[in-house]
Amino acid sequence: MNKENELLTLYWKDNQLYILDQRLLPHKIEYRICGACSDVVDLICSMSVRGAPAIGISAAFGMAVAAREAQAKGYNSSQMRSFLKNAADKLFQSRPTAVNLSWALDKIDKWLARHGDANPDQIVEGLTRQAQIILKEDLENNRLIGIKGAGLVPPKASILTHCNAGALATGGYGTALGVIRAAVEKGKEIHVFVDETRPLFQGARLTAFELVHEAIPATLITDNCAGYLMSRGKIDLVVVGADRIAGNGDTANKIGTYSLAVLARYHDIPFYVAAPLSTIDLSLSSGKEIIVEERNRSEVTHFCDCSIAPETIEVYNPAFDVTPAELINAIITERGVVNNPDREKLYNLFAKV
């Protein structure tokens, strides 16, 4: 636990990277030590660490781990750089949808380009420092997202969230959960409804865990329950995170997010996306260009290792969906709230200093 009594998603201690194995939550708290960059790749692929910002931060530290591996092999600077290039390629391929991964790798790459004459020891130190900066800035950005987002929350509010966009999905505090945390810190009377979030139950296992841990009043619901609650006037607003936001505001997030946005619009309930600028991908003109990861069939056919479907049934298991910008009332970022997001407003956000 850190000083705010939050479970750390990952940390760097005595020149080693520790990543919390989120597959074991909420029942076990175990950290994996990453002795090699391939360990980080495996932990991302297996979703031991997940959530867009957390994946990006892990990848940045993965590069620091790779630099140490190369140093231990006695590589010279140019050998180390080609080893790092290979490590970056593997990390880049570990999960395709969350843009924070390539964003973080790009930051590391730019550092390497700026320090073309660095020796191996300097590269090791430099990459470790860069990863630490990315982690620290993510935490700071989440606090800002929280402060700005809390302004959208009425004094008494019932909030629906999906998947886990909390401390566990980030460097700490969370994006969507950051907004909720900040609203509670401001003394607002909040009740959170948490979608269980099939197939991997990030809502039930992780978001519910974070909320219980912080004693924020919350109720766990099945994914299919949201429409019924909205129809009964039980939800005042929806806030979710994002894995990639295209230049026009279309937003990829955990599968089921789009259905919630459609339901929210039908019931005239505000639908908010909370995400740092590192999740916005201005290179994509619309959500149609976002690559949606498809995951293993067993996530759908099995429940806790127990088969729940005929073995031969065909399965479709996209991990994310894309919500069109027109269904999003606002995107909450560390630089401010973008109401009715569109291309021009998102570009202006990046132009702000």
Q: Interface with ligand MRU by CB under 6 A: which residues?
A: 50-53, 98, 163, 165, 169-170, 175, 202, 240-243, 253-254, 319
121 is catalytic: no
Separation CA 260–CA 257 (nearest Å):
5
Nearer to ligand MRU, 69 or 138 (CB): 138
CB of 142 to ligand MRU, least distance (A): 8
CB of 254 to ligand MRU, least distance (A): 3
Separation CA 333–CA 149 (nearest Å):
8
Separation CA 338–CA 156 (nearest Å):
23
Burial class (CB in 10 A: 0-12, 13-18, 19+), 27: exposed
Nearer to ligand MRU, 37 or 98 (CB): 98
Question: Nearest residue to ligand MRU, using CB?
Answer: 241
Q: Are 53 and 175 in contact (CB under 8 A)?
A: yes
Nearer to ligand MRU, 71 or 137 (CB): 137
Name 122's Cβ contacts closer than 8 Å, sequence gap at least 6.
115
Smallest Cα–Cα separation from 241: which of 98, 43, 96?
98
DSSP string covering 73-121, please? Answer: TT--HHHHHHHHHHHHHHHHHH-SS-THHHHHHHHHHHHHHHTTT--HH
Nearer to ligand MRU, 243 or 334 (CB): 243
CB of 309 to ligand MRU, least distance (A): 21
Nearer to ligand MRU, 112 or 346 (CB): 346
Q: Which of 195, 243, 281, 321 is catalytic?
A: 243
The packing angle between helices 120-150 and 77-94, to 10°, is 30
Smallest Cα–Cα separation from 260: which of 208, 333, 180, 321?
321
How large is the C-alpha radius of gyration of the chain?
20
Separation CA 87–CA 70 (nearest Å):
10
Separation CA 127–CA 72 (nearest Å):
15
Q: Residue 172: how many CA atoms within 13 Å on its side-chain side?
A: 18
Nearer to ligand MRU, 100 or 130 (CB): 100
Among all residues, which ones are annotated catalytic?
A: 243
